[in-house]
Each structure stands twice: as C-alpha cells, then as structure tokens.
Structure 1
Amino acid sequence: ELAALIQRTKERLKDIPVFAISNEDQTGIEGLKGIIEKSKTYCLLGSSGVGKSTLLNNLLGKQVMKTGDISEHSHRGRHVTSHRELHILENGGILIDNPGMREVGITSAADGLEITFDEITALSRQCKFKDCTHTSETGCAVLAAVESGTIDEASYENYLKMQREKDHFERSVAEKRKRDRDFGKMIRSFQKHKKLNK
C-alpha cells in the first residue's frame, strides 16, 4: 500500500523527490539527508504535531528541538514549536523548523498554478473557447483528457480547487482596493466640505 501511494505521488509530482520516512525507526532519513545540499535552505512545513521537530532532530542526529509525546487520543504529536529556528546540518544544508500551520492558501500566484499544473495549462490552449473554465464546456480539451485518463482526476480536482482559491483571493484584493478608494474619496470630500465651511 505504501509503495503504491509513493508511486502515485511521484507520478503526480514528476520532478519532485518523494521519500517515505519514519521518525520512529529512521527509515528513509539517510535518503532525505542525501538530497539536502550545502548552503541551500529548506523549510519544514506542516500541521501542528505531525513530527517536524522530530524529523529535524533525526536529520541533525541529536536532540536540539523539544518534542511532545504522541497523544493517546489523537495519535498525533502535541504542538510544541512556537517560533522559527534555523539549523545547519553537518553537510552545510540549512533547515528551518516552523511552528505548525492551520492552513495554507494560494495568493495571486497564477504562474505557480501554471507551473504546478503544466499539463492542464498546455491542454487549456487547445480548448474550443478562450475563456473555458474546464468544468462543463463542450470542446474542452482538459475535460476530454480527464475522461480519457490522460490527466489524473485527483490532479484535475486539485487544479479546480486552487483556481477557485486564486479567484477568491483576487476578488478579495479587488474589493479591498475599492473599499480603500471609496474611503479615500469620502475623506477628501469631508476635508473639502470642512474647508468650505470655515
């Protein structure tokens, strides 16, 4: 089951190395150390209690970060890290341990979407309509590729989700700018009115 999961992940992420590791028995730790390059910086990101600090300790080969016990109730670690900390491995690689995150979202990273979902981006140029949303349009090359199995359905769903997040972020930014402009106009109008009444 693990081997199949790793294979599916590698197929979806293509050029990104994928490692299965165990903080308990050190499986995969040496392989992970092997890709960490001298003078390059790497960040440990993830939810609270998933083992980022334990992984850092294992990569360093010593206990430098405080870690919590596994909870009997949730079977996860307890949140311990409360600040960012930089550590240098023996080979000169730089690791940053971060506090756990509640969520990660997308900002206005259109380029990031195009790079991450390069197959979908390339196919979208073949769609019948220039403004195709890749959800229901006839002549959509992306939908055809999903139906034929050329594009993984989970990858397609992730693309749509990230596209919605990006659109929401861009709308929120546009709405904030409009509110700020309207507020600025109101202040200028108030100041002008105040000068006239002096």
Structure 2
Amino acid sequence: MKKPIRILTAIAFICALAFTARLSHANDTVEAPAVESIVPISPYQGSLKERQRLTGDWAGCRTWLEEHGITLAPRLTQFYQGLSAGDGDHDFEYGGKADLMLNADLSKLGFWKYFSLTVHTEYNYGESVTGAGGTLVPPNTALVFPGMEDADAFDLSSVYFTQHFSKSVSLLFGKINMMDIAASTPFKGGAGIDSFWNLVVI
C-alpha cells in the first residue's frame, strides 16, 4: 500500500517543481503568440450547414466502421427534367436514383495488404426523359441504368475485388459497372450525378 502512495507523492512533487519553475521564469521570458492547434474536423460533425455528410455520424457507428475499413456512402438524387424545345413530348418528368456504395479495406479485416471490396446497389424510380427528342445520347445518364421502363428498377451493379500492386498497377475481378470506374475521372466523370447529367456536353 505504501508503494502507490510514494509514487503519487513523487509525481505531485515533480509537478509542483515544474509549476514553480515556470512561475519563476514567467517575467524573464517573452511568450510567443498563441498558435491554435489544427485539429482535423470529422466530415460528420458540425451543424447541417457545416458537415459534409447530411446524416452525420450515426451515433458513432460511421466512425467505428471507417476505423475497421468499411465506408458506406448512401445517396439520393432527384431529377425534374423535360424537353424545352424541338420535336417531341414537352412534358416534364420526375424521377430519381437511390444508391449505396460500400467500400471495404479488407486488410483491416484480417486479409492481406492492398486488398479491397466494392459493392454498389442502385434503385431508379419515377419517370425519365430518356429518348425524348430522338437523341442518340441519353439526356440523363444516371437514370439509364438499371433502367426505368414501365416500373422501378433495382440492380446490384458492382461487386468486385481490387488488389493493388503499386500506384499504377492493380487487378480488378468480379461484376464491374464501368460507369463507376469512369465516375472518378475529373470533369467528365460523376456518373451523371456529380457532374453533367448528359454526357454529350463533354
């Protein structure tokens, strides 16, 4: 019982010495201007206006998943679009896409390094103006797949594994939606959601 008391007494004594030394030199030194420490802000924190993700941290679940290599990116995109000029039906149509992208760093789940899994589910609903005006390129890229003919459409569009060997060499195998790969390219990417709706403008 005496040993812990001695350790605590020694710690208190050291802290007292340090505090006394700081006070004794306070008048002899010129303090540097305070510099605020830069603390990384989570994209899930802050008000609705400040946060990068609308639904926040899901009571800590989102951060826990990321720490274990799993990233979930749900998204809902809505469209109201129609033909403003030219031949054809000039009615405007409302439709949308709900999709979920899952990326898993499998090395954090017990597999080898640089091995990952990507899963993408897509659900289209409502109506689309695809084919309006007789265009060859669909006016709304996001609603082309998995389609919207006479009913809503759902598809597991991507389920593939990736093995990175270097910064420029990687191997992908599984079911791959090439729109997902092209979506990451600057300017012309976005899969009709984060960039231009109609790819013909590129």
Question: TM-score normalised by the shorter chain: which range applies?
Answer: under 0.3
Higher normalized contact order (CA 8 Å, seq sep 6+, divided by chain length): 1
Q: Which has the higher strand share?
A: 2
Q: Which has the higher helix share?
A: 1
TM-score by length of 1: 0.18
TM-score by length of 2: 0.18
